Structure formats: structure tokens, C-alpha cells
Amino acid sequence: MGLPVSPGTLTGGLQAIAALFEPILEALYCKQMSEELFHNDETRWEVFVDLPGKAGTRWYLWVTRSPSVVFYCIDPSRSAAVPGAHFAGLQNEKVIIVCDRYSAYKKLARLAETIILAFCWAHMRRDFLDAGRAFSALEQWALEGKDAIGNLYHLNKLRLEHWEPQRPLPEQSDAFNHCHEALKSALASMHEKATAQLADGQDDTLPRAARARQKKVLTSLLAHWVGLSVFVEHPEVPMDNNLAEGSIRTPVTGRKSYYGSGSILSAELAAMLFSILQTLGLWGISPRHWLACYLRACAENGAQAPEDIAPFLPWSMDEARRAAFSRPLRVQAPRAPPGEPAASDRSG
């Protein structure tokens, strides 16, 4: 905006305000841990610092998205300890995490009986297509697999059109039950076909490498079948992990421009603000409007976070306050000193 400010001043300011957001982040975490359905993903994130015992600057940005909160954390590790620490605060006896097939999530589910993994059908679809692109001999088989998965999406969509979330599954309408049975039948057919292909042996006319690739795809499909089928008995669970992948896309896009973070503090602040700003977006709240009001409240409280942060938590606001925050912030241009043109009259 044309303000002459040194990078050191800006960096110092960011360090000073980081603590102001910590109570908000803690409230986001507590709210998320009270929920039952999560979407998880992670991506690389460069943090240009030297850590004892760590080679290189590659860290990982982890995202957990629930119905009310998008929560990020930054960590030098990609191990199961990271989601394990995040989900240590779970408040419900059973929760579902939609994720890819990364081993860290599988280990997490083995260690925590409260967690059910729902695997992503979009990744399974990609396996078929990648095999078809890699081997022309598998192209027709891969397209048939893609179509079978597409049919599952179609049948599930029809089923959800009749789904009444407030009613238990056995008490759904006849229209829902009809689509539900069609979906289960299609899944059973896919499982039976994949099992038969592996049990009966594969086409000897295929090149050896193509047979190995086909076997790998089918083995993965059957090995992850329980997680791929979670959505059947839980209609609230999407068939893919697009929500988490869509959330993390913004940081990934930004990373291409600024490459990562220059310090641990800046990396943690980035993760903190990704969490807060994306959660605000989830509730339809203008981030700029919210930030202006929240930081003003901090300033009025002696440069400390307000004693009561409830008015700034989306789920604690009434509809009128949320509606007000959803509108752009009204900004009044400062008055020009005597003898200078008004801001609206200045060129450029």
C-alpha cells in the first residue's frame, strides 16, 4: 500500500502479534476435537533453518479439516507421531478420518481404537488410470476400473439425494434403501471381480511388467477395501478426500512463490494463520473484517488478547454478528494534511 517500512520492522511486528492469536488457535483445536468427522492431508514445506540431527530443510505442513474448523500444524517429521499428537485430544468414542493410504494414518488407527479410517476413492481411481497410461495393454482394463468407480460415485449421489441425516440408517425411506442396495451390489461385484482376477491368475498375454502393475493395483484395492467401504454405512462420509486436498491447495500454490519459511517462528505463524483464516472462510466470514476487529480489541486490551474471545469464534456468534462479519470492512480514507489533495484525488 505504499507505506515505507523496513523488513526488520515488519518481522518484529509479526513476532509481536503471534502471541495474540494463540488463544484463538487453542479454541479452534478444542472445537475440532469435539467433532467426529475429519479430512487429513500433508505436504512438504521448506523451513530454512538447521536443526541438530535433521538433514535438509524439508518440513511438512499437515491439515485436519472438520465440519467447523480447518487446522494446520507444521512439523519437521512426516511420521505418525504428528497426527497422533493432534488427535490426542479427541472427545468422542469413535471418529472417522478420511485420508489417503499413507502409512502414518494406518499406524495411527492401529494405535488408537477410537479412529476409523475412510480411504479415498479418487486415489484408487488414479491407480487404475496411471496403470493404463503406463501400459497400453492395460488401457481397456484401466478404463473399465475407472467406469466402475464412476458408477459408485453415481449410485452414492443418487442415494444421498434421499438421505435424511437426522434419521438412523435403518429408518431411511424406501427410495434411499433402493439406492443403498444398488450401491452395495455394485461394490460387491467389484470386490468379487478383483478377487477372482487375483485368485485365477492374470492374462499370460500381458507383458510381465503390465501383469505386475495390474496385480499391484488389485492388491491395493482389496487390502484397503474396509476403509474404502466406510462411506456405505456412514452416508455422511464423502467417498474422497477432496475437502482436505482443496484446503491445502492454497498454501501449496503460495509455496511456489515464497518457497517456504525463513524461520521456525514464521513457519508456525503461517500454520496458525492458515488455520484461523481458512476456518473463517469456512463460516463465510471476511478475514480482513475479522482481523481488524480482533486486533483492535487486542490493542484496547493493552496489546493482549481479549479476556473473552467468544465474540470472535464463529460458532459462538449469533447469526447477526456472523452476517456483519461476512460483509467487507468499511475503510475510511485518512484525512489529508492541510494543503495536500485528498486521498481520492491522488493519482496512482
263-307 per-position pLDDT tens digit? 999 999 999 999 999 999 999 999 999 999 999 999 999 999 999
Assign 2 a pLDDT band (cuts: 50, 70, 90). confident
pTM: 0.92
State the CATH number of the domain containing residue 50.
Answer: 3.30.420
20-62 per-position pLDDT tens digit? 999 999 999 999 999 999 999 999 999 999 999 999 999 999 9
**Residue 116 sits in the same domain as residue 133:** no
Indicate if the pLDDT at residue 344 is higher than 60: no
155-200 per-position pLDDT tens digit? 999 999 999 999 999 999 999 999 999 999 999 999 999 999 998 7
Q: What pLDDT, on a 0 to 100 scale, did the predictor assign at position 85?
A: 97
- Inside any domain, residue 17: no
**Residue 114 sits in the same domain as residue 82:** yes
| Residue span of the structural domain in which 76 resides | 24-120+241-282
- Inside any domain, residue 336: no
Q: What is the 3-state secondary structure (H, E, C) of the chain?
A: CCCCCCHHHHHHHHHHHHHHHHHHHHHHHHHHHCCCEEEEEEEEEEECCCCCCCCCCEEEEEEEECCCCEEEEEECCCCCHHHHHHHHHCCCCCEEEEECCCHHHHHHHHHCCCEEEEECHHHHHHHHHHHHHHCHHHHHHHHHHHHHHHHHHHHHHHHHCCCCCCCCHHHCCHHHHHHHHHHHHHHHHHHHHHHHHHHCCCCCCCCHHHHHHHHHHHHHHHHCHHHHCHHHHCCCCCCCCHHHHHHHHHHHHHHHHHCEECCHHHHHHHHHHHHHHHHHHHCCCCHHHHHHHHHHHHHHCCCCCCCCCHHHCHHHCCHHHHHHHHCCCCCCCCCCCCCCCCHHHCCC
- Inside any domain, residue 236: no
Assign 202 a pLDDT band (cuts: 50, 70, 90). low
91-102 per-position pLDDT tens digit? 999 999 999 999
Mean pLDDT estimate for the chain: 94
- Inside any domain, residue 164: yes
